[in-house]
Amino acid sequence: MRKVLVSLSALLVLAFSSCTENIDTSARYVFKERTIAGYLETHEVYSEYVELMKHVPISIVSNSTVYQLMTARGNFTVFAPTNEAIHEYLQELVDNELISSPSWDAFPDSAKLDSIRKVIVMNSIIDGGDLSEQVYYTSSFPAQNNAELPISTLNDHKITIYSPENQPDSLYVNGACPMDVYNRDIPAINGVVHMMQKVIAPNDLTATRYLQDIIENKKEGFLLMARVLQACGLFDTLSAIRDEVYETKYQRGQIPDMKNYQDKGGGDKSATAGDPDAHAPEHRKYGFTIFAETDEYWRSQGIDPTAPDALQQLQQWILEHNMYLSDNTYTTDEKYDSPNHLLYYWVTYHILPMRIPANKLVYHCNEVGYSLSNPYRYSIPVFEWYCTMGARRLLKIFESKESNGVYLNRFPNLDNGRKGNGHELSCDLDKVGSYIDRENELTVVNDIVNACIYPIDAPLAYTDEVRNNLGKERIRIDLFAMFPEAITNGMRRADSMEGKHQHVYIPQDGVYKYFDNMSILNEETHFIHYNGYRINWANYCQDEDKAFGRFDIRFTLPPVPKTGTYEVRYKTLATSARGVVQTYFGSDPENLPVTGIPIDMTKGILVLYGESNNIDDTGDEEIDAEVDHKLRNHNVMKSARHEVHESNSSLTARDDTRCTRHLLWRGTLDPNKTYYLRFKSVLDSDRKELYLDYIEFCPKEIYDNPAVPEDVW
């Protein structure tokens, strides 16, 4: 178990900046039967917890208390600490020299007292809103260890669940807080209660403070990684928690929702009943994901993480093992914080500029053979390509049924022929990649407020081999994967049917530029993310994005792996609500060349090709290949066989004639250049929508390979 660290600065931050949930209790009514508050009050073991709830306001702008909230209608999950657990927590504060004795009278001032009350109460309750599905009984806990529950606590923290191996009845919240074996899943009219034997008190440490503690106390595990990050000058970056300017504007009501968004155009039928609005994000947090070789690994390589010259030893190891691109020039002096330094180049490939929880490293949702009703039965591979920190480089994250876990830069052999099943067949030893251990005792998913740290079992580096393997892949990137802010702030694939998670309105640039990689180029463009959770859409990862109005919007694209000839593709799904879009592509964002003729998004692939033709797959490889060839002559392709409708597992996106991949551009791309893709409406109507799902980079050796034709997956 990890020892709980409590910093005075974190407590003071909690006192003045936490608990910013705007909870509307006006529509809730008080029950005369047993509510959560009623249950807790009838059991002496919770008496101190009940008293604390009566002193903690719902938010900084509310006079109502959390106790009153627990008497009202709702769908709450309460991880209620016992009196003994609260006393133990007070003793921890004594041990950390924050108070003189384990007593409520020992606090030197009311601000610190209020902050501790808030820590105990606000981190113990999840408000499931109006959805009973968002009450979390143990039967609905994720089976995957260290996975996050979908909804945050009242203190805007996520809760993770851990069950030790060979102890199926033992459950720990946030890795260190045991849940009572006998007093859990206690139903109340407005939710459920789980008895906790320890207070849930997240440390709220930044990645920087966590890593500094490792260095100062020479803690085994990630000591060498911590020393490298410090030497490379990355601690300033890793200390960022959230955009306070956005936070202030949101709290002041200066970041508007999109009211009655369906009235603005389109024909979406997924609106949550009773919630006609698309909601702006409540926060703009910063986050990081660090994949790290362990100290144990480095010792196996002859490097002592505690040695004064450990950095020089590591640098020499990198050189001897060719853990870099051979055609780049690096400095190897002791100015490690230079972006041109070998160590800086090496370590920044270990960092993604987004916080990815353990159950979101890849997304299983509607790939062939998968069902949300059996969420841990995996099938065909799923992958993500993210852009790392430092020099712009792609990092591939992969999982399949056969891989038995999530890997970095895994390049297996797939059964992806026209008559194949899409599964992983085998993987060459030099292409296995680095296994991400999400359940290791070193895995950090709770102790850091702005980051996750995952141990990996094999060294990670952007080498000639990795670059060449990435360059041989068709890179399909979900639009929302291009936005670190969407992942850090829990917008992408949020496991919730609640309106604020299903329809997210991204502010216009004139109000606040929320996504660094997206530019809204006029005041008539309204951008909404449609989460698509449990909605039967044949979209990649089920979600989609739309822009309403006379849209004009530009995206900064991820880099390609290596210089070569590529096709740039854009996938659409035709409906009558769509508009007509002109696309532009190039490296000068202010002067992007036009790519081809405008795309009529109301027309599916059959209309574009000719409705008199039959384009359905016949099972005859030659006939089907010839149809694909003719479609390409029209600069279109069928969609991929990868995803299906959840309600019809036999209907893939490739079989859906509404789905089309458009070939936007073909030519040479350079990994050292940044490319942009712009979408502009060519209609006068302000009610038509731009549909966005994914972008593809496809290298010539895939789309124009006479020996091995491009697969249909």
Least confident of 349-363, 437-451, 534-548: 534-548
Q: What is the mean pLDDT of residues 695-704?
A: 97
Instruction: Assign residue 128 the CATH number of its domain.
Output: 2.30.180.10
Indicate whether 13 pLDDT > 50.
no
pLDDT value of position 254: 97
What integer is the mean pLDDT of 102-113? Answer: 94
Residue 452 clears pLDDT 60, i.e. is over it: yes
Confidence of residue 671 (pLDDT cuts 50, 70, 90): very high
* Domain match, 173 and 290 both: no
DSSP lists the bridge partners of residue 186 as 193
In a domain, 162, yes or no: yes
pLDDT band at 19 (very low <50, low <70, confident <90, very high): very low
Residue 68 lies in a domain: yes
Residue 17 has pLDDT above 90, yes or no: no
Count of domains for the chain: 4
Residue 270: band (very low, low, confident or very high) from pLDDT cuts 50, 70, 90:
low
Give the DSSP letter of residue 54: T
Quote the mean pLDDT of the chain. 92
Domain edge (last residue) among 470, 493, 523:
470
Beta strand 580-586 pairing with 676-681: antiparallel
Whether residues 670 and 571 share a domain: the answer is yes
Q: Are residues 323 and 366 in the same domain?
A: no
| Mean pLDDT to the nearest integer, 194-212 | 96
Whether residues 599 and 633 fall in one domain: yes
Same structural domain, 390 and 317: no
- Residue 268, pLDDT score: 62
Asked whether residue 444 is assigned to any structural domain, the reply reads no
| Residue entry with tokens 């899943």 | 185
Answer with the one of 447, 470, 493 that is the final residue of a domain: 470
CB 121 within 8 A of CB 153: no
Residue 712 lies in a domain: no
Which comes out higher in pLDDT, residue 13 or 504? 504
DSSP 491-548: -TT-S--SHHHHEEEEPPTTT----TTEEE-STT-EEEEE--TT----STTS-EEEEE
Please identify which residue in the block is written with the tokens 């060449």.
468
What predicted TM-score, i.e. pTM, was given to this entire model? Answer: 0.93
Distance in angstroms (rounded) separating the CA atoms of residues 172 and 79? 11
Of 215 and 613, more confident:
215
CA distance 142 to 411: 28
Strand partners, 148: 160
Which pLDDT score, from 0 to 100, does residue 251 have? Answer: 93
Q: Taking the chain, what is the end-to-end CA distance rounded to the nearest angstrom?
A: 44
Output the pLDDT for position 165.
83
Amino acid at 509: D
Higher-confidence residue of 166 and 702: namely: 702
pLDDT greater than 70 at residue 94: yes
Please give the Cα distance from 331 to 232 (Å, whole number). Answer: 13
At 123 the pLDDT is 97
Q: Which amino acid is at 267?
A: G
Is the pLDDT at 16 greater than 60, yes or no?
no
Q: Binning pLDDT at 50, 70 and 90, where does residue 10 land?
A: very low
Domain that holds residue 506: 474-703
Mean per-residue pLDDT for 68-95? 97
> Considering only CA atoms, which of 567, 578, 586 is closest in space to residue 673?
586
Residue 77, domain member (yes or no) = yes
Measure the CA angle with vertex 26, ends 23 and 32; round to 5°: 105
Mean pLDDT of 331-335: 96
d(CA 212, CA 202): 18
Q: How many Cβ atoms from other residues are within 10 Å of residue 78's Cβ? A: 28
Give me the phi and psi of 375, to 5 degrees please: -70, -15
Q: What is the pLDDT of residues 220-238, one digit of tens each?
A: 999 999 999 999 999 999 9
Is the Cβ–Cβ distance between 392 and 409 less than 8 Å? Answer: no
Q: Around Cβ 123, how many Cβ atoms within 10 Å?
A: 27
Which tens digits make up the pLDDT trace of 108-164? Answer: 999 999 999 999 999 999 999 999 999 999 999 998 899 999 999 999 999 999 998
Written as one string, the DSSP assignment of 333-385 is SS-TTSTTBHHHHHHHTTEESS---GGGSS--SSBTT--TTSTT---S-EEEE
Q: Is the pLDDT of residue 14 over 50?
A: no
Euclidean distance between CA atoms 606 and 616, whole angstroms: 10
- Is 260 inside any structural domain? no
- Helix, strand, coil percentages in the chain from 3-state DSSP, rounded to 5: 25, 25, 50
Predicted pLDDT at 269: 59
Task: Grade residue 535 by pLDDT with cuts at 50, 70 and 90.
Answer: confident
For residues 411 and 533, membership in a common domain is answered with no
Q: Which residues, 6+ apart, have CB-to-CB distance to 114 below 8 Å? A: 15, 55, 56
At 274 the pLDDT is: 66
Residue 232 within any structural domain of the chain: yes
Of 129, 161, 196, which residue constitutes the final position of a domain? 196
Are the C-beta atoms of 676 and 253 separated by less than 8 Å? no
Asked if residue 19 and residue 115 are part of one domain, the reply reads: yes
Q: Are residues 153 and 133 in the same domain?
A: yes
Q: How confident is the model at residue 272 (pLDDT cuts 50, 70, 90)?
A: low
In percent, how much of the chain has pLDDT > 70? 94
- Mean pLDDT within 344-359: 98
Residues 673, 588, single domain; the answer is yes
Indicate whether 191 pLDDT > 60: yes
Looking at the structure, do residues 412 and 324 belong to the same domain, yes or no?
no
**What pLDDT, on the 0 to 100 scale, is given for residue 6?**
38
pLDDT at 607: 87
In b/e form, how buried is each residue of 169-184, taking b as 16+ CB within 10 angstroms? eebbbbbbbbbeeebb
How many CB atoms are located within 10 Å of the residue 711 CB?
A: 17
Q: Residue 1's pLDDT band (boundaries 50, 70, 90)?
A: very low
464 and 481, same domain (yes or no): no
The pLDDT value recorded for residue 484 is 98
CATH number at residue 672: 2.60.120.260
Encoded tokens for 567: 């096709």
pLDDT tens digits along 473-493: 999 999 999 999 999 999 999
The residue among 570, 585, 374, 368 whose CA lies nearest residue 476 is: 570
φ/ψ of residue 477, rounded to 5: -120, 115
**Residues 495 and 593 occupy one common structural domain:** yes
For residue 266, is pLDDT > 80?
A: no
Cα→Cα distances 438→51, 207, 408, 693, Å: 37, 18, 13, 29
In a domain, 620, yes or no: yes
For residue 284, is pLDDT > 60?
yes
